[in-house]
Amino acid sequence: MKQGYLILETGEVFEGKLIGELNGLVGEVVFNTSMTGYQEIITDPSYAGQILTFCYPLIGNYGLNDLDDESFQTAVSGVITGDMCDEYSHYQATKGFSERLEEAGVPGLVEVDTRALVKVIRKHHTVKGMISTEPSLDHLKEYGKDVSQDFWVEKVATKEVISFKNEGPHIVLIDYGYKKSILHALLNENCSVTIVPYHYSYEQIKALKPDGVLLSNGPGNPMKLQPWFSEIKVITEHFPTLGICLGHQLIALAHGAKTKKLAFGHRGGNHPVKEILTGKVQMTSQNHGYVVIEESINYNDFQVLFRNVNDKTVEGLKHVSLPIQSVQFHPEAHPGPSDTEFIFQQFLHQVTTAGGRTYAKA
């Protein structure tokens, strides 16, 4: 393997061995603490435009299969890991980790001191970087293409309407970069699902006659979607609605709240979240860099439903009178614990209780 480098805009350089294909992209360097699930993670559209560091030291030991992709593409702009194993062992595996990166045209850097890298990210907070064959900051500035602020939702979301028929309630899934497991969670509950592009208006969604609406996860700053906040507000006022991750932030913003960027995000499968009404703590799968600012929430309309145990940030909201609920974590998991899959049952209970009727306030 060739010698390679991760060049950070803050001046630090990390040495390693190159795998995959160089793409010259400059992205935000982030880290994930999950011990397993690397296939689901690198195909999660929420990582679009980011260079992902795996904290767990060994990646690739069970290979990749044809079942566990969360989207049709390898979403990340780059991968950093300590030790990469291509002599995989699993009965479903069809290819190795480096082979997947090569096919996707994504660069990887192995044999990196990831503990030191994570410390640097935690120190500097938001850090941009590029994987290169040259250990020079000038090389990053001269040849790197900065994609960290691109409107990635537009690039990863569907361009057409996709329908799945079933016997249960009809759910419209607004796609900002949805994970396959969210779709499967709805289908497993016998729902009919129609996936629509992120820019669909209330009138377009109304024409589909849904019983409920789900706003999906997705990449980037939620304020990039500000032109659609008014439509999102009307949609949530007329249909039972569930927001997940980015969808949670969009519901909050559409109803007047504000968001902010975390120092280094929540990314992993072991984040404890407390349900305020019951006092129960669930372990959750998370992948986000932004959170809703609690002080900006209108408590005449919303109550905080979940809170992060570690940093006390808002992890879920519920409208006081309308069937609107949102969660910052991933109840579908994949990868991660399934402690909060009951969120889908709660949502569908709201859907069936509303009976598919509009109920907007006069």
Cis amide prior to 335 (ω within 30 degrees):
yes
Neighbours of 22 (CB within 10 A): 16
Q: Hey, is 307 helix, strand or coil?
A: strand
Residue 10 carries which side chain, given as an amino acid letter?
A: T
Identify the sign of the CA torsion 236, 305, 37, 108.
positive
The alpha-helical segments, DSSP class H, found in 54-113 are 97-104
Out of 245, 248, 255, 288, pick the active-site residue: 245
CA–CA distance from 38 to each of 138, 243, 277 (Å)?
Answer: 32, 24, 34
Whether residue 332 lies in the annotated active site: yes
The secondary structure of 110-160 as a DSSP string is ES--HHHHHHHHHHHSS-EEEEESS--HHHHHHH-EE-TTS-HHHHHS-SS
Cα–Cα dist 123/289, whole Å: 16
H-type alpha helices, the chain: 38-42, 97-104, 114-124, 137-143, 152-156, 180-188, 202-207, 229-238, 246-254, 342-354
Nearest to 55 by CA among 76, 83, 75, 28: 83
Q: Which of 70, 170, 332, 334 is catalytic?
A: 332
125 is catalytic: no
* Cα–Cα nearest to 197, from 228, 170, 176: 176
Annotated active-site residue in 170, 248, 271, 330: 330
Angle of the 246-254 helix axis to the 229-238 helix axis, nearest 10: 90
Q: Would you state the structure tokens that stand for residue 224, as one six-digit string?
A: 């990039």
User: Catalytic residue at 245?
Assistant: yes
Distance CA 134, CA 28 (A): 19
So which residues are the catalytic ones?
Answer: 245, 330, 332
